[in-house]
Structure 1
Amino acid sequence: MAVGGPPGRSSEITTARYNKLVEHLHAHELDAIGDLGFVGLDTVPDNPVVITGYKAARIKPLTLAKRQVNELIASVRAVCEHAFAHLKNWRILTKLRISPHHATTLLRALLVLTRTEVAPAGRSSTTTSALDQHESTLANPHQPQ
């Protein structure tokens, strides 16, 4: 998928809509986790493809459960954010001049190496259990935790 945006500067959500990100994710049966800038991108509330947190209103603060969901999403996103930060520090993405298939394979390998190098020994099980908890919360949103 080629990524571009409308002419001029635009926000991430505008670029995602322009490139039909949600439709592409649906077509390939993939999901994504986004920050609060992507709230409203996915229009199917029962089966969202882009999982985002909750925004608080000025007069209505978030409930404890919604704050916990936001923390969980942030903890899962942090792993990817740190991995991409390391890739940017290595400047590997600026010099990449190979086919997208080979680039994907290379990036997957680099992310595995980055995760192995950077993450503390017991962190992966914590992240996995947090993700499992979040998925069960999404599957049964009305069930008390």
Structure 2
Amino acid sequence: MQQPRWNPSVNVASKAKPAAESMVGRSRATSLTVGGRRPSEKQALATLRAVYETHLEALEDTLRTEHEAAVLALKSRLRRDHSKKLMALAANCSQVTMQRNQYQKREEAYVRRIVELEFKSTVQREAIQHLQRTLDQIQAMATTSS
């Protein structure tokens, strides 16, 4: 037996495909009923769940890989920055040490010069005192002889 031809003007409503149902349109009782589904629906849901879990695992792996790469890059950058700062600090310490050594040498030279000047001053004071005593003796002798 031959099937009747489809006439668009007559059979539009009868041949139209049902629209895909969304979860929003269902009632709570219908959406929670899993046992009443046909085996093909269960299989389709299981397939969708497997695909979802596969995609989720792939996303987790991607995120984990990106996170590990970001952490390694950050560690590397921090080590580089830390090394630069340590080198700058070491150079600064070396420069400060050199300046301190120069200041110590200058201070030692100043102390030596001060000691020399104090010694000369002491020698000159003693010489002046000796000359004063000699002058006093000469004057005493001059007064006694006159």
Of Structure 1 and Structure 2, the greater helix share is in 2
More contact order relative to length (CA 8 Å, sep ≥ 6): 1
Does the alignment reach a TM-score above 0.5? no
TM value normalised by structure 2: 0.21
Q: Give the number of the structure whose alpha-carbon radius of gyration is greater.
A: 2
